[in-house]
Amino acid sequence: MNILIMGPAGAGKGTMSNLIVKEYDIPHISTGDMLRENVKNDTELGKKAKSFMDTGRLVPDDVINAMVEKRLQQPDCSKGYLLDGYPRTLVQAKAFEKIADSIGKPVEIVLALEVEFDILVDRITGRRVCSNCGAIYHIHGHMPKQAGKCDKCGADLMIRKDDTVEQLKVRMKDYENSTKPVIDYYAKAGKVTKINAGQNQREVFKEVNEALGKVA
Ligand SMILES: [Zn+2]
């Protein structure tokens, strides 16, 4: 199954992606991972991307698009793919439609994770991260055994500097500006299923599964 997953930071895309990947035996592909992989393996596209990243510039669409095109043709995508964080803009979405059609892997469903702002605020501002190993905790849920200390390594927990309401508002605006047009684009093609991602994980995955069941 060929799936796109979209949602703002804090919507739980990572968790849902892990569950989908297990259930449907398809790879989870994010542009961040793909970029790192290409740079690490020193591919032609990786070299190109690196020249932009090294000078603090955005990697241009044509490089990203070419990476996606290559990636989706690898054997582990024989049963489909779960794309995360791509396409990020309307321009990318239009380019990707051509690519996906040309390799015979058009998008079948877009999962749009939606969460009320108040719930996002709680999720983001309650997050505590280990300053040493990066383990993640939450003050309303996954609490460490000893307050302020990591269960795994004992180091101090901290609040990431981006995990504030102000930063969340900025990220939400960015998300709305760039990604909403992408969702609208796929909605016109009848491919979008909105998921209420403000519920607990099990409920969210149940909705996701029902949506995917209608495609398969
Ligand atoms: Zn730790």
Query: 149 C-alpha vs ligand 1 centroid, how far in Å?
Result: 8
Residue 128 within any structural domain of the chain: no
* Span from the CA of 36 to the centroid of ligand 1 (angstroms): 24
Q: Using CA of residue 133, residue 136, residue 138, residue 142, what is the dihedral sign?
A: negative
With respect to residue 147, please indicate whether it lies within any of the assigned structural domains.
no
How far away, in angstroms, is 157 Cα from ligand 1 center? 8
Asked whether the beta carbons of 173 and 167 are under 8 A apart, the reply is: no
Ligand 1: centre distance to CA 135 (Å): 5
- Structural domain includes residue 160: no
127 is a catalytic site residue:
yes
- Annotated catalytic residue, options 13, 48, 71, 128: 13
Residues 65, 83: Cα–Cα separation, whole Å:
12
- State pLDDT tens for residues 45-58: 999 999 999 998 98
What global pTM score does this model have? 0.87
Is residue 160 annotated as part of the catalytic site, yes or no? Answer: yes
Rounded to the nearest angstrom, the distance between the alpha carbon of 141 and the centre of ligand 1 is 17
Q: Please provide the distance, in angstroms rounded to a whole number, between the alpha carbons at the two ends of the chain.
A: 7
In this structure, is residue 42 part of a structural domain?
yes
Compute the average pLDDT of residues 28-36: 92
Query: What span, in angstroms and rounded, lies between the C-alpha atoms of 10 and 117?
Result: 10
Q: Active site residue: 50, 70, 88, 194, which one? A: 88
- Is the pLDDT assigned to residue 81 strictly greater than 70? yes
Per the annotation, the verdict on 88 as an active-site residue is: yes
- Taking 90 as the threshold, does the pLDDT of residue 140 lie above it? no
**What's the number of domains the chain is made of?**
1
Q: How far is CA 71 from CA 23, 31, 41, 66, 104, in A?
A: 21, 10, 13, 9, 14
- Tell how far the Cα of 139 is from the centroid of ligand 1, in angstroms: 16
Is residue 123 part of the annotated active site? The answer reads no
**Residue 39 lies in domain:** 2-116+170-215
The CATH number given to whatever domain includes residue 66 is 3.40.50.300
Question: 172 C-alpha vs ligand 1 centroid, how far in Å?
Answer: 29
pLDDT tens digit sequence for 171-200 = 899 999 989 999 999 999 999 999 999 999
The whole-number pLDDT of residue 216 equals 65
Is residue 135 one of the residues assigned to a domain?
A: no
Residue 188 lies in a domain: yes
Residue 130 within a domain = no
- Which entry of 71, 123, 127, 191 is annotated as an active-site residue? 127
Q: What is the mean pLDDT of the chain?
A: 94
Q: Is residue 175 part of a domain?
A: yes
Catalytic, out of 70, 171, 180, 194: 171
